[in-house]
Amino acid sequence: MKKPRPLQVRQVRRYATPRYPSHTDPDPTRLPAPVPFPFGKKLLAAAASLGLVAGARGVGAEDPAPAAPKANPFTLEHSGLPYETSSFGTGQPGRLSEEQARGVIERIFRDAGYALTKDVRIARGDVSFTADGYDAEKKVGFVWVAGARADSDMIVSWRKPEVETPATDPARLSLKEAAELEARAVKEREFIALISPYDRRFEYERWSEDLAKELQEARQISDPAKRAIAEREIHEKAVRVALTNLERCVREYIEWARSQGAQ
Amino acid sequence: MTCPGTISAAFHLTHDCNLRCRYCYTGRKFGAAMTREVAAQGVAFALAEGARGAAHHLEIIFFGGEPLLERDLLLEIADRATAGAPPGLRVSFKLSTNGVLLTEATLDELLRRRVFVSISLDGDPTVHDEQRPDAAGHGTSARLAAAIDRLLRVNPCANVTCVVTPATAGKLDASVPWLHERGFAYLSTALDWSAPWTAADLEVLAGAYRRLGDWYFERTRAGEKFYLSCFDERIRTRTQGPVGRHERCDIGCRQFSIAPSGRLYPCVQFVHEDRDGGFLIGDVYRGFDEERRRALGAASTAPRVECDGCALQPRCSSWCACVNWQSAGALDRPSALVCEHERLLIEIADQTANRLWDRRDPVFLHKQYNPAWPVLDFAERVWVREGAGVREDAPAGEKGPP
């Protein structure tokens, strides 16, 4: 007779990511389009009047009024470029890594129906750079303006801010090219989002009273293991907020691009 | 030690019980009830703990034995706690009962004090009577029928807890639908962690969970709104993130139990017959033994090195020291039973959720991702009553349950 298998603790090394959205993904009840609330209209009206739900649509509700015209959320103005370096390293906010950002950006473009090819050289007259992801058929893509993609004039040294470092690399995006790209997007119907880690909307743990208070409370925890857990949770929460902001902006960019004629 | 947020204080009103459930972890049943003096001191202690920890919410849970055997004491504790709560501290009440003593009059008194009632029912009468006989060995399901109707009439959101044992694992997919059809919309399932589960038993349970997953899918697609803990809690670890440190009971810190004697324990699981000094962490007169409390807390939150590298670790409930202790006898090590159970259940829950996501089912989406869901669900059940098969405020095209 076969011996019964003993129960055992065993790690799951590989687990297929579930398809349904996680807490770091955009709210699927609102994006890409609001999902009707599965409650009656009277209840929703009462709940809305109490501020429990904002703009809720019940099943069978009429379409809402048209939304306000969209704007490009990834302009140079938002980008934080050129980035001026600091003379000190402490107190700097956290910034999303390229890996973190690309994971989000590529997924949203993919969900929106774009097939992005990586590392595509773009040459349009006097604008020449490498896009991180580009759908040549639909002329939509993005560039993560940092590191290998950003030309020298994108960074200003704190030592000599008055000195302009000239752009030198045709494979990298310069300030002038970025401005040109932004200006020509609608006319050329080519939409390449300029996404920068220096965009303040995607920074996290920038000093604030609330953050200082949270960290202070965590540091009061005497048990080192619990303190580490508390501090990690504060950090992870902050990163999640930054990623959520990035997701929202990428979706807004796609909506804007489509409103301007993108496929 | 300070424990902000919510503090839960379980008052074990008596060791006695009118039932003899086969899996009960509270030990022998004997008539040692909490005295009024201990109860009064316990209330003062719990309120003081709330104030000391700067908590905004004190949750008082009535437990036992069967707490309704000390009905008058229960009501007195509720009144005392309500009257004595300082400004800024909200006090709420929960009762965990077998329901046999839930008369109309008792329910009225509980309702007046806003005591949320959770009833224990293991499924259809065959299953229930086998697992939960009274002291004379007779089934109790017939006596519960009227109590269930009464309870659901006054609170359609009442919770039912269904305990699963190796003997009944294969019937879980019949028990849950039976409870749902009976009228319960908030269904909790709990394994008897102390039972000698085998791999074969878990295979049977997995089969039941899969069939239950089909039921969950079909009922959700039919527009029905309900909460089923075994699936919804696992899905939640993905849709709302892993259970945060602040949400865990933090054994002995955010949650503690007051035995009928007034002695303090870190969780209901440890009170037993109130003889085990190993988990005693103080009493309501002298307060907490902070050193012991800290030691238990450290043991319960010690890193589970056996789990390092597991892809499911953020979603697994092996953080619950009490469950680990019940099934494997250790606070600080993951239990093989818990591990095997979580591995099989998380996968089945995810498969079910994937199916609903693929269809972008609105009930699934709002239940899992809309923070207003619990309030709206409660409001619909309480304010919008069902007529003869047709809801007054039915969404367009919907007539009510098939």
Residue A176 pLDDT: 86
Residues in chain B: 402
Mutation target among A29, A216, A217, A244 for the B interface, most CBs of B within 10 A: A29
How much of chain A, in percent, has pLDDT values that exceed 70? 84
Residue A164 pLDDT: 60
With CB atoms and an 8 Å threshold, state whether B223 touches A38. Answer: yes
Residues in chain A: 263
pLDDT digits (tens, 9 = 90+) for B98-153: 999 999 999 999 999 999 999 999 988 888 888 888 888 888 888 898 899 999 99
Helix axes B373-383, B362-369, angle to 10 degrees: 120
Residue B293 pLDDT: 85
Q: Where are the beta strands (DSSP E) in chain A?
A: 83-84, 94-95, 117-124, 127-135, 140-144, 155-156, 191-195, 203-204
B146 Cβ neighbours under 8 A, 6+ residues apart: none
Nearest CA in chain A to B307: A11
End-to-end alpha carbon distance in chain B: 53
Q: Which residues of A touch B248 (CB under 8 A)?
A: none
Ramachandran bin of A55, using left for φ above 0, alpha for ψ from -120 to 50, beta for the remaining angles: left
Interface size between A and B, measured as CB pairs under 8 A: 148
User: Which residues share a beta bridge with B202?
Assistant: none
Nearest CA in chain A to B221: A38
Nearest-by-Cβ selection for A59 from B241, B297, B396: B396
* One-letter identity of residue B105: A
**A40: distance to nearest CA of chain B, Å?**
5
Residue B199 pLDDT: 95
Residue B393 pLDDT: 39
Per the structure block, which two tokens stand in for A25?
């993904």
A179 Cβ neighbours under 8 A, 6+ residues apart: A76
- Indicate if the pLDDT at residue B208 is higher than 50: yes
- Indicate if the pLDDT at residue A218 is higher than 80: yes
pLDDT digits (tens, 9 = 90+) for A5-59: 899 999 998 888 899 998 888 788 876 667 777 887 777 777 777 666 654 444 4
Residue B398 pLDDT: 38
Q: Which residues of A touch B334 (CB under 8 A)?
A: 9
How much of chain A, in percent, has pLDDT values that exceed 90? 17
With CB atoms and an 8 Å threshold, state whether B362 touches A41. Answer: no
- Indicate if the pLDDT at residue B401 is higher than 80: no
**A146: distance to nearest CA of chain B, Å?**
30
Per the model's pLDDT, the better-predicted residue between B206 and A62 turns out to be B206
pLDDT digits (tens, 9 = 90+) for B246-266: 566 667 678 899 999 999 998
Nearest-by-Cβ selection for B298 from A21, A42, A223: A223
Mutation target among A2, A10, A20, A44 for the B interface, most CBs of B within 10 A: A20
B111 burial class (0-12, 13-18, 19+ CB within 10 angstroms)?
Answer: middle
pLDDT band at residue B305 using 50, 70 and 90 as cut-offs: confident
pLDDT digits (tens, 9 = 90+) for B349-361: 999 999 999 988 9
With CB atoms and an 8 Å threshold, state whether A38 touches B362. Answer: yes
Residue A229 pLDDT: 84
Cα–Cα distance measured from residue B343 to residue B355, given in angstroms and rounded to the nearest whole number: 19
With CB atoms and an 8 Å threshold, state whether B298 touches A5. Answer: no
- Indicate if the pLDDT at residue B2 is higher than 60: no
Residue A65 pLDDT: 46
Q: Which residues of A touch B197 (CB under 8 A)?
A: 7
Q: Where are the beta strands (DSSP E) in B202-361?
A: 227-228, 255-258, 263-265, 282-283, 287-288
pLDDT band at residue A63 using 50, 70 and 90 as cut-offs: very low
pLDDT digits (tens, 9 = 90+) for B77-88: 999 999 999 988
Residue B103 pLDDT: 93
Residue A219 pLDDT: 87
pLDDT band at residue A161 using 50, 70 and 90 as cut-offs: low
Residue A53 pLDDT: 60
Residue A76 pLDDT: 87
**A4: distance to nearest CA of chain B, Å?**
7
Q: Which residues of A touch B368 (CB under 8 A)?
A: 20
Residue B397 pLDDT: 37
Nearest-by-Cβ selection for A15 from B311, B366, B397: B311
Residue A165 pLDDT: 63
With CB atoms and an 8 Å threshold, state whether B393 touches A20. Answer: no
Residue A54 pLDDT: 54
Cα–Cα distance measured from residue B216 to residue B222, given in angstroms and rounded to the nearest whole number: 10
In angstroms, the Cα distances linking A123 to A129, A130, A131, A228, B132 are: 7, 9, 10, 49, 77
Residue A210 pLDDT: 77
**A52: distance to nearest CA of chain B, Å?**
6
pLDDT band at residue B241 using 50, 70 and 90 as cut-offs: confident
Residue range B339-343: mean pLDDT, rounded: 95
Nearest CA in chain B to A11: B310
Average pLDDT, chain B: 87
